[in-house]
Amino acid sequence: MAYADLATLKAYLDLTVTDAADDALITSLVARAQAAINAYTHRVFEASADTTRYLDADKDVDWAVLRLGADLAAVTSVVNGDGVTVTAGQYTTQPRNETPFRALKLLASSGIGWTYTTDPEGAIAVTGKWAYSATAPADIVQACVRWAAHMYRQKDSSTFETTVYPEAGIIERPVGMPADVRLLLQPYKRISL
């Protein structure tokens, strides 16, 4: 899914009539802005379908905690490395009361541990919505719309890369992400260790 759609961006740009070529351009700019947001923040902000990721039963496990390595908005199923399903009553999410989840912790009362039968690599299967949330937060939608609109406006401007500072005798303009978009995205940026 896209963080923003054609109609939203056209409304933001105050475009009432566009041709098919412009619509295709706008749609591609939304996709480019979304990809750039994901790359900048090291996150995916929306998942409409379940996918399965396979985690290592040794490298990704710290005692009873299975580190997910990516944001998980919803858990559908967990299959331990021995092929046995780990039920929702046997683990808790970390953090507990908010998404995205970053880990699954086996409850002491479950009586099980993260395990594997043959090889630890990719032994544990976690199926769910691998994203920050099921739908993109409002800040992310706004950042996507704003960045796509910025790119769209650049197409018709011969001076889009320049800003004039007459008092200093400087003509320049930073290219890339608009400053207001960076401010919207900063709180969502994943810090990697």
125 and 67 part of one domain:
yes
101 and 164 part of one domain:
no
Which pLDDT value is given to residue 158? 56
Domain count, the chain: 2
- pTM as predicted: 0.83
40 and 75 part of one domain:
no
* pLDDT digits 0-9 by tens, 151-170: 999 887 655 556 666 676 66
Which pLDDT value is given to residue 156? 74
Which stretches of the chain drop beneath a pLDDT of 50?
Answer: 193
Range of the domain at 86: 51-129
Domain boundary among the residues 111, 129, 147 is at 129
Domain boundary among the residues 129, 146, 172 is at 129
Which pLDDT value is given to residue 162? 60
80 and 121 part of one domain:
yes
60 and 122 part of one domain:
yes
Which pLDDT value is given to residue 122? 97
105 and 60 part of one domain:
yes
3-state secondary structure the chain: CCCCCHHHHHHHHCCCCCCHHHHHHHHHHHHHHHHHHHHHHCCCCCCCCCEEEEECCCCCEECCEEEEEEEECEEEEEECECCCEECHHHEEEECCCCCCEEEEEECHHHCCCCCECCCCCCCEEEEEECCCCCCCCHHHHHHHHHHHHHHHHHCCCCCCCCCEECCCCEECCCCCCCHHHHHHHHHHCCCCC
Which pLDDT value is given to residue 150? 93
